Amino acid sequence: MEHNVQLRKNINKNYVFVLLQNIDLTRGIWMIYLASKGMSLTQLGLLETIFHITSFTMEVPTGAVADIFGRKISRILGRIFSLVSVILLLAANSFLWFAISFVFTALSYNLESGAGDALVYDSLKEIGEEHSYMKISGRKEFFYQIASVISFFVGGYLATKSYNIAFVLTIVIASINIMQSFTFKEPSIGRIEAKGDNKNIFVKQLKASIKVIIDKPKIGFLIIFTEIVMAFCTCIFFYLQNYLKGDGYSEAVIGIIYAVSSLGSALVATQVHRIEKKIKEQGLLLLIPLVAVACIWGVALSSFHYIFFIVLMLMEGILYVSISDYINKMIPSENRATILSFSSMVFSFFMITLFPFIGMIGDRYSLSVAFKALGSLGSVLVIINSYTLLVKVNKKSAESTEKL
């Protein structure tokens, strides 16, 4: 009974963890900060590529770490690596050390990406409340976005005074977050026991997880679908900082714009379970990418680009909360962290090429042209996605008619 009480406490503890984890006062200014250190858009793109190459190669191994040695241990290590990355970014003055910092940042994301959601979902599953995951995930997204509001608003203001203050405060908060990460209770289910004589436990875990995806191809589809849309949103999220700066906006105003987008996402996140009930999975898969690409074009063509950016972030939040629930329901607990890490690996795969591509176009022509290129590519993908989904719907309708 006491064990179940502690598992239930994991849920509220996770809200606090997510809040502290994402109060990163450098999040909305790091590209501007690095530009002030002499980095070009191409170099910024390369740094992000280094981040995603590291993430791509290490996602699945770190997911296996969480499944084998525990979600809590993986989460603690992730917070320590994150602290190291911020310290390096503050102290560094060269591309090489910035790159090393990005490697540590990627590893911190890797260690958290599968472990965090797996810890929460399996805590709920062990006490028989996994049906409430979408609602809880929406609340978690709320705290994530509230942290973003604080980060963008306060970080943007501090950047007008001193970048160093923003970094130092982030280091202090990260240190508190590390201590709080020790308070979680590890779920009993989903843990693969590591035996001393089993030298191939990592290989076996990876093979077992791959088999789950092969046996359930819908998992693979949802992962690829989600991460493509997320990659497009991420490119806009980061490069818009420099775009707005070049358009005459101060760091404080940019922080306010990003804070408003996060506040809107926070409010919408708590209602995703209700939205999903109305338009269902098929509606989400059709509507989200369509609206997202329309917003990318709005950013590229409209003088009210910040409004389209805010709506784009709302779409990203809805997608994350809903698809995360769909995927978790199909994954066995013992493979959960590893497969969720596959998802992050797919995201990194798309970002490795897409992010520097946008940076190079921005350097050679302009970010406006780069956003138009992103919108064009997105339009092609939306047409393919819509056609594929509608064909499936028509096929199912035809099969149902034949049975009648």
Q: In this predicted model, what pLDDT tens digit does every residue of 289-309 receive, in sequence order? A: 899 999 999 999 988 888 999
- Asked whether residue 257 carries a pLDDT value surpassing 80, the answer given is yes
Tally of CB atoms within 10 A around 75: 24
Q: What angle do CA 116, 117, 118 make, to 5 degrees?
A: 90
Q: What is the pTM of this model?
A: 0.70
Q: Report the pLDDT value the prediction gives residue 191, as an integer from 0 to 100.
A: 59
Residue 197: predicted pLDDT: 46
* Confidence band of 160 (pLDDT split at 50, 70, 90): confident
Q: For the chain, what is the mean pLDDT?
A: 83
The pLDDT confidence band at residue 190, using thresholds 50, 70 and 90, is low
Residue 335 has pLDDT above 80, yes or no: no
pLDDT of residue 395 exceeding 60, the answer is: no
Which pLDDT score, from 0 to 100, does residue 396 have?
57
Q: What is the pLDDT of residues 198-248, one digit of tens each?
A: 556 667 777 777 888 888 888 888 888 888 888 999 899 888 888 888 888
Query: Which amino acid is present at 80?
Result: I
**Domains of the chain, each with CATH number or no CATH:** 2-184+210-403 (1.20.1250.20)
Please report, in angstroms and rounded to a whole number, the separation of the first and last CA atoms in the chain.
50
Q: Which residue has the tokens 């991420």?
A: 234
Rounded CA-CA distance 302/243 in Å is 13
d(CA 55, CA 108): 9
pLDDT over threshold 50, residue 90: yes
Q: Which pLDDT value is given to residue 393?
A: 53
